[in-house]
Structure 1
Amino acid sequence: MRLFIRVISAISQGLGVLAAALLFSAVLSVSHMVFVRYALGWSTVWQTEYTAYAIVAATFLGAPWVLIVKGHVNVDIVQMAAAPPLRLAMQILAALFSLLFVALLAYAGWVHFEEAWSNGWTSETVWAVPLWMPLLPMPVGTVMLALQYVAEILRLFLDGADPVEPQPVLFSETTEEVRP
């Protein structure tokens, strides 16, 4: 089980690096587009479409890594107040519901990808990208996110509940007088 957790986590971290590279390439693409349009006065063909596809791909492919670092939106005020056994049960239950949602999303993503592949769909732009390419990150990312949820559930069973980390203090106890 620990091997499964390590392998899935390593793949998720690799996808996180790939997502970062995709975001960086999107920044370069936008920079290129601005230079070509405004400095050279030329029209652009592929930059806007590539940037949109790269950002969406980064979102799906980076999601498993975000789960590892606990970066997904999580309302944990009740978990923070709960005793460790109840916190563990709540974390497992939340992960199971999330796994169900992600599995359904992965299935829908696969169906959409397969339809684009089988029918030879292309984008309706001058670039005419085969749409299976920008659709592929959705099933890949969601399947990996589902596997990362399985790894997280196994880790919860093996190691217990995640510790409750105190949140940073937003306001101090003392206030200072503000002078104009």
Structure 2
Amino acid sequence: MKTCWRGFSRAVGQVNTLMGYLSAVMIIICTMALTYEVVVRYFFNAPTSWSLEFNIFMLVASTFLAAAYTQIKRGHVGIGMLDSIMSARWNRWRYLVADLASLIFCSFVSYYTWKFFYMVWDQGWVTESPWAPKLWIPYFFMAFGLTSLSVQCLIQIIDEHLVSLEKGE
């Protein structure tokens, strides 16, 4: 059973790492699209109708896709000073409580985001711009990213906290 869990944990970590790198590429694409918009607007006085929404969709997607990768690296907001003040044992408990709270919150929001995604998909919502992209796109990335973050929190709880509790640390 531990071998299956380790394989699952490793696979999820690899997917989340890939999503983190993909999110970095998406930010680079946003930068290029925004630069294109500025150049076309300035030199040719011809604004694009798609650039703003494209960049918003890409930044939403990159933000939520990178969330689980950021959790792997423990890059979310934390109180670093407590690491040096508290003992290793108390820090493990502090991380456990934070990971459990994150898991509960992210799972709750993920559930409702998936429900909202389905509603937007089912009803065919689009933006009100002339380009009119489908609104399910950003909601899918929000739901997928929050689900990935929830799974990553669960993996960290099991890998980091339950294993140390089993060892009696």
1:122-148: CA deviations, max 9, x gaps? Answer: 100000111111211001000000011
1:5–1:154 Cα contact (<8 Å) kept: no
Residue in 1 that maps onto 2:155: 151
Question: Which residue number corresponds to residue 60 of structure 2?
Answer: 56
1:12 is matched with which residue: 11, 16, 20? 16
Give 3-state SS (helix, strand or coil) of 1:24's partner: helix
Return the alpha-carbon distance in structure 2 between the equivalents of residues 156 and 149 of structure 1: 10
Alpha-carbon distance in structure 1 between the residues aligned to 2:84 and 2:158? 21
Q: Distance in 2 between matches of 1:139 and 1:38?
A: 37
> Which digits, 9 at most, give the CA deviation of each residue in 1:45-95, with x for residues without a partner?
100110111111111010111111111001243343222222212211110
Of 72, 78, 95 in structure 2, the residue corresponding to residue 74 of structure 1 is 78
Alignment pair present for 1:131 and 2:152: no
Q: Quote the Cα distance in structure 2 between the aligned partners of 1:41 and 1:79.
A: 54
Kept after mapping to 1: 8 A contact 2:113/2:143: yes
Match of 1:87 among 80, 87, 91: 91
Q: Tell me which protein shows more helix as a share of its residues.
A: 2
Correspondence list, 1:23-62, <5 A: 23-62=27-66
Identity of aligned residues (%): 29
Q: Letter of the aligned partner of 1:88 in structure 2?
A: R
TM superposition score normalised by structure 2 = 0.89
Structure 1 residue corresponding to 2:108, chosen from 90, 104, 107: 104
- Cα distance in 1 between the residues matched to 2:72 and 2:164: 16
CA distance in 1, matches of 2:101, 2:75: 17
Could you tell me which of 107, 116, 120 is aligned with 2:120?
A: 116
Matched, 1:22 2:31: no
Q: Which runs of 5+ in 2 are unaligned?
A: none
Q: Name the TM-score, length of structure 1 as normaliser.
A: 0.84
Cα displacement string for residues 21-64 of structure 1 (whole angstroms, at most 9, x for unaligned residues): 11111101101101111111212110011011111111101011
Aligned residues: 161
Q: Which has the larger radius of gyration?
A: 1
2:37 maps to amino acid? M
